[in-house]
Structure 1
């Protein structure tokens, strides 16, 4: 009855699951005994190793034991192992090598069962659908397995078939996790307690979405639409005629595993370029689209021989509200500007602090934790060091992790772990700051232009150093061209929307009773190599092409008036 009961909705409902298992406690007790016994044997093994060896550096048999335990416990625990497998900075090498196998080397289920599911779901004999299909799955994951096939119409496809009887295991594990979270909450030293059950609910919601392949197909198409203008990202097409809730047919992607650095280098690909593509696409998902891949482990990402990165799994996605997305951009800006008062307000908006929290004692603590990010130690910054420092803050201040951000943090940590696997010296800030700087300087939307003004002005004064920092950071990306950005800036200045900035820039040139020739000279030194005379002329011409004499008539008098009103130095 359990399978049919939950199949009818395919939506996570914590109350319905609780009601179901509270009347079937024998199932709960049986599963709990299996889980406790599995991990007890592992912990006893670790204690035995410590007693047996003076110094433990490599115990492959223990790592294999953990992988087998997670595999035997099923999809919920496999996903925990997949997340750990992307953290070479947290997990010992021998354990890492075993946990990586959880990404796409799980035991497959019976081929006859898989073929039967395909035929039942698609309503046709297997030979009527495919001209050929691989005799065995090419990959087996936590929720399903994948076959390579060729449709009768000739297309090369991947056929994803869901494991049978998933729902009883998943729902029982989620019930136990939620019960444990509720029981543990009062005993936790961190200010996470009351949110733990919400985090389990968020995970449960996503897990239920992930076992609906129609939902995954829609996610893939939406994701592909967002990246349609990005030549560095590949998203496979979905074949809807051959897709149901339990079978997904999509374009076959012939790529290289991201962790296979030798093969990647052998075909002439640069790992740092791949990292840049991966992190930049991740930032775009969070800060531009608000629709992000919440499970970007190496089993779901491939490098193509032409340098593109391909995403192949869209089961676990999440959506950010526009306000949340804008607040995230704000928080990055306030972090860059070291505006800790505003950053604390961002944390309130995002839910990391309660609305009634007293932020005054928190501000100096934020400054201590985040103070050197834009300083000399910027190269030492990574997401793990920040989360480690914040975990210390959580003991003393009322920080909490909103359920929505559990997946975001998991996604960021996974991406950074993947990047560290490709390059141990990688720091996410080296890509994140230039990306934010480029977006601000380009000012593609009114919201971003407002934020650029916020960056450049503080207490009514123009921040010359911030503009230098932004241009300097943006130019660390060799592909960044200052000229199109300058053209956009000039067009903005000449528009009605740019009236405030025009006035402020003219005031900035002569503020504090002096003309700021030194600052202008430094800026010019920073960008002059990119602004050759012929290109500069074409840029200016392009910017004023649609600039009417009427607009000029309204701008010039106001400029003259402000200039004449300034004291002379």
Structure 2
């Protein structure tokens, strides 16, 4: 059976058992591909050693960088994806290699135009002239999974037409099959649980890769993503033309933009790199913590700055969905980490699946404090995902941590976004954007689950943590777009509700703890918010809040206060 036959017989969905059954009785294909991978990387490693032995490392660095890019390109889409991920990490990859790997984002060799045109007409069941008024004779970009043409519809809209590379599914299947075998071989040799569920991580990657090569699935993802960011003035999502799309072709709105790594063009267009970083990080956090539907492949080839300063996403093949509980636990874990609450962090790790429920977390807490405390440094401004992942990997050798398959994509997304931000600003600290956002999310507490997370942060060992509330308000207010009044209204509504009974009790206890009124704490809080809350605004806030709450709810404060004394 050749590639064409495999392409037609392959499922649109990743199934490792089906793939294994296809290649189990075709050992020559498996052996030939394995030999090709070993030969290419083996030669590359020998060349590196030879450069070292002959003291020509520095001279040959550009040559070896080109060689690595050519190897990844020759090995095809799966390995190009690895190179694309590495190309976003200027803190991991030295500059000469980075410059070459960046070319894997959109400077790959195209495939034959006639094959592309045949795919378009086969998918749409019409000739190109019937569908498009104008169509570029050659692709304007080539990526790992396809290439892009610029066209004009008969109705006048400028569009981009993505066409998938031929015989893609069987090529990916064979690489994933070999990766799965390799994962099974090396799992037993990895320390403790470092290799736990390594095959599941390969399967998660395979599932997302197969979703990425289903362009109708990408169209659905784009429309869902656009709905989430509908009305957002800082994020641009292209319109999808479903009537001109299929499993292997996608027609979408043409976006005029600038690559985020092209600093000269960004500066010439008058675009602020730091503002683009803020948009990228904030939109990434919103995807994870608000919508739970996130872009798992945000490398520079998929993100552009529009001329009016917006961030444009143009590729929606690799996406994933988080449930409500996971979203809220992630938000909680970030706050626990910044607050250095390692007991709470360990409990969140259990809830997220990094530790099994039967794990005794007590011996792990001091280790978390030692390792992650070093990663955080003297201040939260030193926090970055690269440091955290490096330091956290030490714990994997000594304690029964494991990496849930879904988190492989989340971590990749976060690290890729941070790497992109670092390429725009080497001094970028992700906490300067992310923690104000997380604090705002918890302070506004739109859902009961988030309000419970806020209580977990503010109340520890039965005591109200004034310093944490001050810290959260101060950091949230560092974002100029944060409006304290709506947050205060939500907080007052919550305090006067039945759900807020416990917090009312804790506040009253905290205010009168130790047989004294804690006026100093209240004064510090007031100094934080007094510039944002004027007398008239306070009256309006109180009136509107009390108008929305029933008499019974207000009366509930009195027994709460009485019972707390």
State TM-score, norm by structure 2. Answer: 0.96
Farther off after superposition, 539-548 or 280-289: 539-548
Give the 3-state SS of the residue equivalent to 2:478 in structure 1.
Answer: coil
Give the 3-state SS of the residue equivalent to 1:287 in structure 2.
Answer: helix
Give the 3-state SS of the residue equivalent to 1:547 in structure 2.
Answer: coil
State the Cα distance separating 1:503 from its structure 2 match. Answer: 2.8
CA separation of 1:377 and 1:499: change in aligned 2, threshold 3 A: closer
Within 5 Å, give how 1:14-25 maps onto structure 2. 14-25=16-27
Q: Which one of the candidate residues 315, 320, 323 is aligned to 1:321?
A: 323
Give yes or no for contact 2:376–2:383 (8 Å, CA) kept in 1: no
Farther off after superposition, 432-441 or 331-340: 331-340
Q: Which one of the candidate residues 393, 396, 409 is aligned to 2:395?
A: 393
Distance 2:338 2:209 in 1: 35
State the Cα distance separating 1:4 from its structure 2 match. Answer: 3.6
RMSD over aligned Cα atoms: 1.8
| 2:446 corresponds to 1:444 | yes
| 2:89 corresponds to 1:87 | yes
What's 2:216 paired with?
214
What's 1:196 paired with?
198
State the Cα distance separating 1:419 from its structure 2 match. Answer: 0.6
State the Cα distance separating 1:420 from its structure 2 match. Answer: 0.5
Give yes or no for contact 1:144–1:162 (8 Å, CA) kept in 2: yes
| 2:254 corresponds to 1:252 | yes
What's 2:414 paired with?
412
State the Cα distance separating 1:333 from its structure 2 match. Answer: 3.0
Q: Which one of the candidate residues 480, 483, 493 is aligned to 1:481?
A: 483
Farther off after superposition, 532-541 or 35-44: 532-541
| 4+ aligned runs moved over 3 Å, structure 1 | 1-8, 372-375, 547-552, 559-562
Give yes or no for contact 1:7–1:167 (8 Å, CA) kept in 2: no
Give the 3-state SS of the residue equivalent to 1:158 in structure 2.
Answer: strand
Distance 1:190 1:145 in 2: 43
Q: How many residues align?
A: 563
Give the 3-state SS of the residue equivalent to 1:132 in structure 2.
Answer: strand
CA displacement, residues 450-470 of structure 1 (integer Å, 9 cap, x when unaligned): 221222212222111111110
Distance 1:372 1:473 in 2: 22
Within 5 Å, give how 1:44-443 maps onto structure 2. 44-53=46-55, 56=58, 59-189=61-191, 191-371=193-373, 376-443=378-445
Give yes or no for contact 1:209–1:315 (8 Å, CA) kept in 2: yes
Give the 3-state SS of the residue equivalent to 1:253 in structure 2.
Answer: coil
Distance 1:361 1:15 in 2: 40
What's 1:29 paired with?
31
What's 1:10 paired with?
12
Distance 2:233 2:291 in 1: 17
Gaps spanning 5+ residues in structure 1: where?
none
CA displacement, residues 493-524 of structure 1 (integer Å, 9 cap, x when unaligned): 23333233223222221122110111111111
Give yes or no for contact 2:458–2:469 (8 Å, CA) kept in 1: yes
Distance 1:104 1:542 in 2: 54
Give yes or no for contact 2:498–2:556 (8 Å, CA) kept in 1: no
Give the 3-state SS of the residue equivalent to 2:379 in structure 1.
Answer: helix
Distance 1:38 1:247 in 2: 32
Farther off after superposition, 331-340 or 399-408: 331-340
Give yes or no for contact 2:51–2:57 (8 Å, CA) kept in 1: no
Give yes or no for contact 2:501–2:560 (8 Å, CA) kept in 1: no
Within 5 Å, give how 1:444-483 maps onto structure 2. 444-483=446-485
Gaps spanning 5+ residues in structure 2: where?
none
CA separation of 1:46 and 1:560: change in aligned 2, threshold 3 A: closer
Distance 1:370 1:325 in 2: 22
Give the 3-state SS of the residue equivalent to 2:429 in structure 1.
Answer: coil
What's 2:496 paired with?
494
Distance 2:476 2:139 in 1: 45
Give yes or no for contact 2:508–2:561 (8 Å, CA) kept in 1: no
Give yes or no for contact 2:445–2:451 (8 Å, CA) kept in 1: yes
Distance 1:362 1:74 in 2: 42
Give the 3-state SS of the residue equivalent to 1:145 in structure 2.
Answer: strand
CA separation of 1:45 and 1:560: change in aligned 2, threshold 3 A: closer
State the Cα distance separating 1:287 from its structure 2 match. Answer: 1.4
CA displacement, residues 349-368 of structure 1 (integer Å, 9 cap, x when unaligned): 22212333222211100011
What's 2:533 paired with?
531
Give yes or no for contact 1:85–1:99 (8 Å, CA) kept in 2: yes
Farther off after superposition, 455-464 or 310-319: 455-464
CA separation of 1:228 and 1:544: change in aligned 2, threshold 3 A: same
Give the 3-state SS of the residue equivalent to 1:59 in structure 2.
Answer: helix
Distance 1:57 1:544 in 2: 74
Give yes or no for contact 1:234–1:310 (8 Å, CA) kept in 2: yes
CA separation of 1:151 and 1:269: change in aligned 2, threshold 3 A: same
Distance 1:523 1:92 in 2: 46
CA separation of 1:45 and 1:257: change in aligned 2, threshold 3 A: same
State the Cα distance separating 1:549 from its structure 2 match. Answer: 4.1
State the Cα distance separating 1:373 from its structure 2 match. Answer: 6.5
CA separation of 1:346 and 1:167: change in aligned 2, threshold 3 A: same
State the Cα distance separating 1:536 from its structure 2 match. Answer: 2.5
